[in-house]
Amino acid sequence: MKKWIYRIFLSILLITLACGSLIGGYWLWGKIRPQPKDSTKTLFEGITYTREVRSSPRPIVIHIVKVDLRAGGIDILVTPRDSTAERPLKAKTTGAFLDKTNVQVAINGDSFTPWYSHTILDYYPHTGDPVSPTGFAASRGSIYSQGSGEEPTLYISPTNQARFNTQIGKTYNAISGNIMLVKAGEVVSGLESDPAPRSAVALSKSERELILVVVDGRQPGYSEGVTLQELAGIIIHYGGYHAMNLDGGGSSTLVMEGILGRPVVLNSPINNGIPDRQRAVANHLGIYSHKVGVE
């Protein structure tokens, strides 16, 4: 009997040590890994990607996707309502959203409830847990979240006309954020915050170009994030005329379709303190390009 107790105790100890080593390895890797190189390439027809790496005022890795809304084959999808969930949606990672819907590029969307993250073992939501977006949301004509009416919202029509805070005919695709970052080419006043991972969506002055922005953060020596004011400046630098802040922190994720349709994460999300770990979130903004481009 004592041998069995000893074996159980030893097994638990070994599992605990293995988990600790894995977590510690991820933590150490996040501290010492080098920054990537700058890069610009065409991902798909009408969709280009730029990665910009900065060392000042702190290590920063910026990811920019530009979508020509008038290019042939471009189509937009906001995460559809899940009719089987207790709330409008079941949480899923941005990569899982891309994999399920077969979009070519996807970014995380609005903030949501319920949410908490106490430890790597004590958090919500897990994949499949019911969640509700904070703001107004619609997918291809189906409205599934009304929000408070105060959140900024991006509306996109069936013909890819896009506008902030003004509906274009009957509601088609709509996704919300928490604050506007840029209005008429100027940084919105009063943007005060600490550096953090960020996600944002912007439109060019002509409203022809949709711009997705993700900045990695909370990874010392690699990318420590940006303030909201810095994020607004980055957006203007890349041609954003109006821009809205999306859910950030551990939610910030940018994904593309890779070989055989599998998701490829373009940025370095950080969830539960672990680099490259995606968070299950509520809704997403996806881009279809029916014509495959060349890298």
253-289 per-position pLDDT tens digit: 999 999 889 999 999 999 999 999 999 999 999 999 9
Per-residue pLDDT of 104-153, as tens digits, reads 999 999 999 999 999 999 999 999 999 999 999 999 999 999 999 999 99
CA dist 40 and 63 (Å) reads: 10
Residue 181: half-sphere exposure toward Cβ, Cα within 13 Å? 30
Instruction: Note the pLDDT of residue 23.
Output: 47
Domains of the chain, residue spans: 1-32, 36-289
CA dist 29 and 231 (Å) reads: 26
Average pLDDT, the chain: 92
Torsion 100-102-108-113 (CA) sign: negative
State the average pLDDT over residues 9-25.
Answer: 53
Which stretches of 104-152 are assigned E, i.e. beta strand? 105-108, 112-113, 116-117, 123-124, 130-133, 136-139, 142-146
CA dist 22 and 160 (Å) reads: 45
CA dist 184 and 64 (Å) reads: 20
Query: Does the pLDDT of residue 28 top 70, yes or no?
Result: no
Confidence of residue 6 (pLDDT cuts 50, 70, 90): low
Instruction: Note the pLDDT of residue 142.
Output: 97
Helix (H) or strand (E) holding 78: strand 74-78
Please tell me the total number of residues recorded for the chain in this structure.
295
> Which among 285, 286, 265 has a CA at the least distance from the CA of 110?
285
